[in-house]
Structure 1
Amino acid sequence: FSCVLGEARSSDQDCPSSTAESRMQKGCANVTALTEELQAVKREKSQLEEEWTQLKKKIATTAPQTTPVPTKNPCPEDWKHFNGSCYYVSEYRRSWSDSQAYCKQQGGHLAIILTAEEQTFIWNLLPRGYWNSYWFGISDQKVEDDWYWVDGTKLVGGFWEDGEPNNHVNEDCGNMVKTNVLSRVATKSWYDAPCYMSLPWICEKLVSTYTQ
C-alpha cells in the first residue's frame, strides 16, 4: 500500500504499471475507495447524531408539562383535614352547649384535642385578633376542676395558659384564645369561661363519617 501513501504524500508518484504492480494499483484504488466510503459513513454518523440531538430538544420543548395532581380534601367544604379528622371553625357565635349541639348535627362534636400536633394545627386555623376565643370540647360542669371531654373521657394534661383554669366567675367550659400578640404560643392558649357566653366554636368529626 506504499502507492496509496505515496498518493497521499505526493502527486508526482505513480502506481506501478507492470502486471504484478498493476494488481497493487487495483488494491491501491480499492483502499482509496474504502477510505472515501469510511469518511462518508463518519459524516453520515455525525449528521445523524446532530439530528438526534435536535429531535431530543424538540421533544423536551413540545412534550406536555406534567403538573402534580392536588390531593383531594377528604372533608366537606369549609372543613380542614388533619390526621384522620375534619375540623370546622365557626364564624358565628353560640353558647358552649349550643355549639356542641351544632357539631352533633354535623356528625361530630366540639373538638377533642389530645396531642400538641393537633393543638397546633387547630390553633393555626384560627385568625388573629384582639381576643379571638373559640369553644372546644371540654368542661367541668359536673364537678369543679374535674375536666372531661364531650365523649366522656377525662382530660389528662392539656394546653392551658399559665394560671388557667381559674374559675374566675363560674367558668366551666374550655375555650381557645388567639390574639395579635405574636409571642403567644399554641400550647398555652386554653382558658375557662362561663358556658353561657356566646363564642364561635371548633367542631371535629372523623373522616370516615363523611361520604360524598
Structure 2
Amino acid sequence: MFPTLTLMVLFLTCSAQEDPEALSCPEYQESFDGSCYEFVGLQRSFLSAQRWCERGGGHLAFILNDETQQFLQKHLDPEKDWWLGLAPAAPNLTLDSAATEGSLAWLEGSYVSYSNWLNMPDAQAACGHILRHSGFQWEAAENCSQELNSICQFGMYS
C-alpha cells in the first residue's frame, strides 16, 4: 500500500511542476497571467531595449487587456516613461506604404485590440511607450532612439 501511495504523490508532484500556468519567475521579475515581467530601470533606445529583452528570451511587454494594464501600473514608477512592444503594423510593407498605414501593432504582429492611448497614433508613429505623468496612458513616438526604461515580458508569447 505504501509504495503505491509514494508513486501517486511523486506523480502528482511532477505533474504540478510541468503545469505551464504555474510559471516560476526569478526573484527580480513579477509573475502575472502566465508571464514574468521585468521592470528594467536602465534607459535605452527602443531597439536596444528590445534586444535586452530578447537576450533573456523575452520581448518588450504587450498589454492585451485591462487586467495586464492594471497589474503593470502597480509596479511602474509614474515619474518615468516605459517602452512597450509596439512597432509599425505590417513590417513587410515598404516604408512608403507603412507610413500611410499609420498604426502600431504588437511586435509579434497582432493588432492592438485593447489600448490606453493618450492620443491615437498618427502616421509617423514608429514605437510606443507608457507616458510619465499621464496616469499610465500610452503614447506613440516618432523618435525611437530616445532612451527610456522598459518592461520585458517572458513566458507567454516569448
TM-score normalised by the chain length of structure 2: 0.71
Which of structures 1 and 2 has the larger relative contact order (alpha carbons within 8 angstroms, sep 6+)?
A: 2
Instruction: Quote how far apart the aligned CAs of 1:156 are.
Output: 2.2
Given the alignment, which residue of 149, 153, 158 partners 1:204?
Answer: 153
> Which residue matches 1:30?
none
The SS at the match of 1:98 is helix
The SS at the match of 1:118 is helix
Q: Structure 2 vs 1, CA of residues 123 and 166 (structure 1 numbering), >3 Å: closer, same or farther? A: farther
Instruction: Quote how far apart the aligned CAs of 1:147 are.
Output: 1.3
Which structure has greater strand proportion? 2
Could you list the runs of 5+ residues in structure 1 that have no partner in the other structure? 1-71
Does the alignment pair 1:174 with 2:128? yes
Given the alignment, which residue of 85, 88, 113 partners 1:137?
Answer: 85
Once the two structures are aligned, what percentage of the paired residues are identical? Answer: 29
Cα distance between partner residues in 1 of 2:32 and 2:77: 18
Cα distance between partner residues in 2 of 1:104 and 1:174: 18
Does the alignment pair 1:110 with 2:42? no
Cα distance between partner residues in 2 of 1:199 and 1:171: 16
What stretches of structure 1 move > 4 A for 4+ residues in a row?
none
> Which residue matches 2:16?
none
Q: CA RMSD in A?
A: 2.4
Does the alignment pair 1:77 with 2:58? no
Could you list the runs of 5+ residues in structure 2 that have no partner in the other structure? 1-21, 92-97
Structure number with larger C-alpha Rg? 1
Given the alignment, which residue of 133, 136, 140 partners 1:192?
Answer: 140
Q: Any residues of structure 2 matched to 1:39-118 within 5 Å, and which?
A: 74-118=24-68
TM-score normalised by the chain length of structure 1: 0.54
> Which residue matches 1:153?
110
